Amino acid sequence: MLESKSTVFLVAGVGFFVLAFVVMGLLPWMIYMDQEEETLEDLVAKGIPHEFVELAERFPEQFSRHFPNGPTPSSFGDALQLGHDIYVAEGCWHCHSQQIRPVSNEDLRWGAVSHPSEYHNVLQRPVLFGTRRVGPDLIREAARRSNDWHIAHFYEPTNVVPTSVMPNYPWFFDEDGYPNRKGMALVAYIQWLGSWLPEYPYYQGEGPAGARSREGDEAALETRRMEGS
Site membership for ligand HEC, residue 22 (CB under 6 A): no
Please, what is the minimum distance in Å from the beta carbon of residue 202 to other proteins?
A: 13
Contact 179, 151 (CB under 8 A): yes
Rg for the chain (alpha carbons), in Å?
A: 22
Site membership for other proteins, residue 124 (CB under 8 A): yes
Please, what is the minimum distance in Å from the beta carbon of residue 161 to ligand HEC?
A: 4
Total of residues contacting other proteins (CB under 8 A): 79
- Residue 144 contact, options ligand HEC, other proteins, none, Cβ 5-8 Å cut-off depending on partner type: ligand HEC
Site membership for ligand HEC, residue 88 (CB under 6 A): no
Q: Measured from the CB atom, is 69 or 158 closer to other proteins?
A: 158
From residue 18, alpha-carbon distances to 10, 13, 23, 181 in Å are 10, 9, 9, 44
- Residue 29 contact, options ligand HEC, other proteins, none, Cβ 5-8 Å cut-off depending on partner type: other proteins
Residue 118: burial class (beta carbons within 10 Å; 0-12, 13-18, 19+): middle
List 11, 166, 197, 220, residue binding ligand HEC (CB under 6 A):
166
> DSSP secondary structure string, 25-93?
IIHHHHHTTTSPPBPHHHHHHT---HHHHHHHHHSHHHHHHHSTT-S-HHHHHHHHHHHHHHHHHTTGG
H or E element in which residue 109 lies: helix 106-110
Total of residues contacting ligand HEC (CB under 6 A): 23
Site membership for ligand HEC, residue 134 (CB under 6 A): yes
Site membership for ligand HEC, residue 205 (CB under 6 A): no
List 42, 70, 74, 104, residue binding other proteins (CB under 8 A):
104
- Residue 186 contact, options other proteins, ligand HEC, none, Cβ 5-8 Å cut-off depending on partner type: ligand HEC
Site membership for other proteins, residue 20 (CB under 8 A): yes
Distance CA 75, CA 135 (A): 29
